[in-house]
Amino acid sequence: MRIALSAVAAGLLAVGVLSAPPVAAEPPPAPPAPECNDPSCVPGIQPGAVLGAPCTNTTYYVFGVTSWGRIVFCGSPRRKEPRWFRSLELRGIKIEGANCSGRDGEMAQAPDGLFLSCDTRNGAATWTRGDI
């Protein structure tokens, strides 16, 4: 019996079935993330928001949409209780600190959900935290 098993193993080695697996090549680079330039691709937008109603988060995933499709954001006026306000143009997903020339006052969301607004400071228009 032992001789028969050895013969089978030798035969499988001969045809390469029991040989070591080939060394794997490096995986191809990931494709670039798709651009997101409008509200349709922004994750975390809360449905059913009501203008003026209380809301809970003024830093991350602050955007909502009303029953009629209006984009709103959760803000805290003068450090009062947060509530839903009309949003300026929501420009999709942007990177904090990136150039936003020509979009002054518009809003965006960072990949991690951080609320951003386009502000001009020191002569440069950049996406900055919208919660400060």
User: Which tokens hold the place of 72?
Assistant: 């709103």
Could you state, in order of their start, the residue ranges of all structural domains in the chain?
36-129
User: What secondary structure letter does DSSP report for 108?
Assistant: E
pTM higher than the cut 0.75: no
pLDDT in tens, 113-132: 999 999 998 899 999 998 87
What's the pLDDT score for residue 48? 97
pLDDT in tens, 32-59: 556 899 999 999 999 999 999 999 999 9
- Cα separation values, 37 from 13, 75, 109, 119, Å: 57, 22, 10, 17
Residue 9 three-state SS: helix
Q: Across the chain, what does the average pLDDT equal?
A: 83
